[in-house]
Chain A
């Protein structure tokens, strides 16, 4: 079984983790057309190569980020999510097109 290095709990068996899928940035909902939004909700890049993914250490419910090579399944690095999400996110009110 693979070992994953959790930024909070250290090296643990991969069975203690769940994958949250590839990190994709949500487009600003109020300023996004329907097709772009549908693409964001339903489509995945699924590339062969290094991807940044969400992972959660289930016993501690700790979410963090991992860079993983989807070809070799090598986990290149893991780090806390606040290295990517540094600021509070706010949402804009709807525009005329999307009441």
Chain B
């Protein structure tokens, strides 16, 4: 015995032999700072057990010592802390050289947890305690109690210095996915594989075989090993059966979409058919102190023995109600453990090969008896014995009890099917009352059960349900399958589950849910408090809400609630099962992050020119050309370049759509608020789009190339939606047009500034650029510098300017030509920030910045673009209603002169009489006008000449003068040059 309280094993490391471990390779690791040795393949639990260490964790509420029970990753107790990872399942995590493991949820040390004193007050922590005790006075929960409880409870700690790991995803497609590679799953895989199906067999353990790897199917223990060899041999002949071990199918999603996690990779698998052969979960018995380290499930003991070669104790007592407990007794007996007694809940012990073998081995059998309480060493650190009492009725026992000394108690009193995936798929959980067993029914098409999850416990029956499930799946796949396999004669489910292995004790501590430290009385009292619906009881008592999600609590809870509310088990059932099945790391879900991003055809030119790039939706755009530290100077210079010389702006991100057909103009007339039917060929006209509610959702320019053909632009962010919207409407209207999204097919460059025409002339073009031949708001197609282009004379920035649209492949060539032709005029590239300033000086709105989700045209001075006289446009009828009501607000221009005033920011609120009446949508310091200009929503009656009050980010209020939105060149003289 190396440490106080940790008793139980005397297996010297040298003597161990188990399926999962390699005794040739020793592995050193540490737990709580102490060094231990295990073997390759050992889990933290098995390696520590081999070293006699059982106390692995402290419980959530009472800080009671806890150890491992299932060795199958079912319970929350063996959650441990690794250096870079909290809440690791110690019975699943294998050890590696130098691994540092720590216990969780204790104060001081795991061995001597100061918080264990909470357990003494357990009678004062009744169910619903938090709700009842801490809600008064108002607010005190958040301020006082919650921080205290958070410190006392909680699980592991996140290490913020954890290194980044590599996580990834992969997709898979199979005819049949089989979850669980025990005898049923393997049987199904062989049957399906032989028929030629593409099969994936998923197993969470490191080896396939399931119960064949550890369970005793016959008294002699010959069947399992023989069958295992046969099945594995058959599987090896089937290359179309892919096997994934160490992999967890962590959920079921619609149409058999399965997330399978293996190490750092998430496999997203689509299966035509899914066979669930996930087995069943052995259930604990309920009695006082059933949570002590050293109290294990029978199957957990067998796993420890066979998979890891660890002898789980020196002296064992078996509490059982089926032959499985006798199998465990025989296993322990053979392993050299002194089996002190088998305590059998059944009134008479049947004669069968197991009971006879146990009797022949000289094992004492106490029938019609239960363990009424487990006795603990000091500090509840380990079991030191059991008190055995004769049963007098359902859940009751006489006081003629006696003690048996032991350091291991194994419980084999029944199972619950691993129902989670089945229920997620839409199945129901019924109850087989005759056999006191949950039963999964109403499976959806394409989902099948095989093995003990389907209530088959006899080994032949298990194999048959596997073949049968495969046969049904193959039938749906249309693969040749032959005769339907025989239904099993005997499922072997009789006499497996005891209907009431629940024995309350006057002093309590008969734990139903070990995650949440709930005892028997908590469930009973929860029902008495009126929470008799399982979903309500769960939330009230927290039963089933811990990390093990009720795997060991659901059956006992349902039984107690059924009895307390006098309803059937089928009526009670279990709480809703949702994915994920077990904990999953966020990193696994995230994988490698694939963030789509879009680059314009001119992207590399911007990089070469030293642009600071910014995100705009998915696009990367040049904010300005220069270093971050020179931001303001760059923007100012770029603004002045356009006002005084000539500049180039990459506007390739604009949405571009071709509308062709004899109804093209009619279509635009319906989609947009302005008139297009009589728009002359060669004219470019503003586009304003509203939705059915009349809200502005996009704008752009329509150029009429011919009678039946328009080339239109949309906002950068709106392109996809506008295009999709157009298709949706015309799916209904059935106008004779086609609509093509050519956004990515064209590069677009805006050349603007007083010298822009001279630059184009120098480049050479067959388009007459004179102001008379090509005035503002016109579109031309022609050759520019030898490249076919559309030229649009638009003036978003308020200077003489052209948008040049060329095939994307010609974008760089056009950019280069323009830069060269403009060099003598001092041409330079201009970024988005300067463009935003320039358009603001002109009072041109940006949809989505100066408008919001309720802005309609009258609110932002766009009435001129709305034509009510045509029969229809989307939003017209709603705008007609709007026009009958007074405006609630108005977008106005404002200016602030003088250097001392604070600079407003976008979203600063506009206040009037201490009420918020609007907000700033755009604001900038204009280098040309030498003042702050901006746009803001204000009260509807606001007019130029008024002042508005803007509350700045620092809380102070500044006055701004309301002026016309057209701050710069209001007569548009400059752009008409």
Contacts and interface: CB of A to CB of B under 8 A. Distances in A.
B866 to A, nearest CB: 14
A1 interface: yes
B692 A41 contact: yes
A83 to B, nearest CB: 11
A91 B872 contact: yes
Given A41-B693, A56-B728, A1 B878 contact: no
A98 B732 contact: no
B523 to A, nearest CB: 32
Interface string A56-99: 10100111000000000100000001100111110111100011
Given A30-B871, A42-B693, A85 B734 contact: yes
Contact of B871 (A14, A32, A94, A99): A94
B733 interface: yes
B877 A29 contact: yes
Contacts of A87: 734
Interface in A1-60: 1-3, 14, 20, 29-30, 32, 34, 37-38, 41-42, 54, 56, 58
B872 to A, nearest CB: 4
Nearest to B871: A91
A38 B727 CA distance: 24
B727 A63 contact: yes
A2 B629 CA distance: 50
B369 to A, nearest CB: 50
A25 to B, nearest CB: 9
A2 B735 CA distance: 34
A32 B877 contact: yes
B734 A29 contact: no
Contact of B881 (A30, A34, A56): A34
B540 interface: no
A3 B734 CA distance: 29
Contact of B254 (A1, A37, A86): A1
A5 to B, nearest CB: 11
A63 B731 contact: yes
A28 to B, nearest CB: 10
B257 interface: yes
A61 B741 contact: yes
B733 A73 contact: no
Given A41-B693, A88-B734, A91-B872, A73 B881 contact: no
B255 interface: yes
Interface in B702-741: 723-724, 727-728, 731-736, 741
A1 B255 CA distance: 6
Contacts of B741: 61
A61 B727 contact: yes
Given A1-B257, A92-B871, A20 B728 contact: yes
Interface residues of B, number: 27
A1 B253 contact: yes
Interface string B330-357: 0000000000000000000000000000
B692 A54 contact: no
A37 B257 CA distance: 42
A93 B732 contact: no
B175 to A, nearest CB: 15
B878 A2 contact: no
A50 B881 CA distance: 33
Contacts of A62: 727
B880 A98 contact: yes
Interface in B643-701: 670, 692-693
Contacts of A93: 871
A61 B724 contact: yes
B919 interface: no
A63 B734 contact: no
B259 to A, nearest CB: 10
Nearest to A89: B733
Contact of A81 (B723, B724, B732, B878): B732
Nearest to A23: B732
B191 interface: no
B732 A89 contact: yes
A56 B878 contact: no
Nearest to A62: B727
A60 B823 CA distance: 43
A56 B725 CA distance: 10
A37 B877 contact: yes
Interface string B943-954: 000000000000
Nearest to A3: B255
A41 B255 contact: no
B876 interface: yes
Contacts of A86: 734
A62 B735 CA distance: 16
Interface in B819-877: 868, 871-872, 876-877
Contacts of B868: 94, 99
Contacts of B728: 20, 54, 56, 63
B871 A41 contact: no
Contacts of A73: 254
Given A29-B877, A42-B693, A63-B727, A88 B733 contact: yes
Contact of B731 (A3, A14, A37, A81): A81
A85 to B, nearest CB: 5
Contact of B878 (A3, A41, A61): A41
B782 to A, nearest CB: 31
Nearest to B724: A61
Interface in B245-303: 253-255, 257
Nearest to A99: B868
Contacts of A85: 731-734
Contacts of A1: 253-255, 257
B731 A29 contact: no
Given A85-B731, A88-B735, A89-B732, A37 B871 contact: no
Contacts of B724: 56, 58, 61
A42 B878 CA distance: 11
Nearest to A4: B255
Given A63-B727, A63-B728, A81-B731, A29 B876 contact: yes
Nearest to B663: A88
B723 A61 contact: yes
B107 to A, nearest CB: 45
Interface in B736-750: 736, 741
Contacts of B872: 29, 91
Contacts of A54: 728
Nearest to A25: B732
A86 B868 CA distance: 28
B280 to A, nearest CB: 28
A67 to B, nearest CB: 17
Contacts of A92: 871
A88 B215 CA distance: 72
Contacts of B736: 88
Contacts of B884: 34
Contacts of B733: 85, 88-89
A93 B867 CA distance: 13
B727 A37 contact: no
Interface in B469-522: none
A24 B724 CA distance: 18
B876 to A, nearest CB: 7
B694 to A, nearest CB: 9
A37 B741 CA distance: 32
Nearest to B693: A41
Interface centre among B255, B731, B734 (most CB of A within 10 A): B731
A62 B741 CA distance: 13
- When A and B form their complex, which 6 residue pairs have the shortest distance between CB atoms, in order from nearest? A91-B872, A29-B877, A2-B254, A1-B257, A91-B871, A3-B255
Given A56-B727, A62-B727, 10 more contacts: A34-B884, A37-B877, A37-B881, A38-B878, A41-B693, A54-B728, A61-B741, A85-B733, A85-B734, A93-B871
Interface of B: 253-255, 257, 670, 692-693, 723-724, 727-728, 731-736, 741, 868, 871-872, 876-878, 880-881, 884
9 contacts: A3-B254, A14-B254, A32-B877, A38-B878, A61-B741, A85-B731, A86-B734, A87-B734, A91-B872
